[in-house]
Amino acid sequence: MLARLFRAALEHLGLRGYPKTTGRRGLQIWVPVEPGPTFGETRAWVERLSRIVGERVPDLVSWRWERDRRGGRARLDYTQNARHKTLVAPYSVRAAPGAPVSVPIRWDELDDPALRPDRWTLRDVGDRLLAHGDPFAGVLRDRQRLPPLG
């Protein structure tokens, strides 16, 4: 649900986002930008967009860090866009039972009832890549200007 709201927000802004599973608990959406904005500017932009999305569905979003204090709501963790933060790279195997993999997905896959952040494993991610190609390839060549957020 929240990823769909981000997709709608990005489309409204004329931007392309590239979603991927984390291989553990969630989804990440990568938005490649053109050279120019500082790290601080992009970080502030991501925080503002996250807060705008969160304001639309306050019954689904909590800004609390502590999971047990969120009341079953999700946290839009814009703080992942940080210096010296370890992000899970696409196609990375996670150190967890079953060897789940962080896998880029297409937006339409959000509608798949079998979608889970740990759906693909080391055993089947290669077959997926051969069958569907790499939906994340555009991240390396896509350059976008971040529009102002009201």
pLDDT confidence tier of residue 25, bands split at 50, 70 and 90: confident
How many residues make up the chain in this entry? 150
| Gap between the Cα atoms of 22 and 144, Å rounded | 24
Residues 93-122 as b or e (16 or more Cβ within 10 Å = b): ebeeeeebbbbbbebebeeeeeeebbbbbe
- In this structure, are residues 2 and 19 in contact, taking their beta carbons and an 8 Å threshold? no
Domains and CATH numbers, the chain: 2-140 (3.90.920.10)
**Which of 28-37, 43-52, 75-84 bottoms out in mean pLDDT, i.e. has the lowest?**
75-84
Of 16, 74, 70, 20, the C-alpha closest to 50 is 74
Neighbour count for residue 149 (Cβ, 10 Å): 13
pTM of this prediction? 0.88
Q: How do residues 57-102 score in pLDDT, each as one tens digit?
A: 989 888 888 889 988 888 888 888 788 777 889 999 999 999 999 9
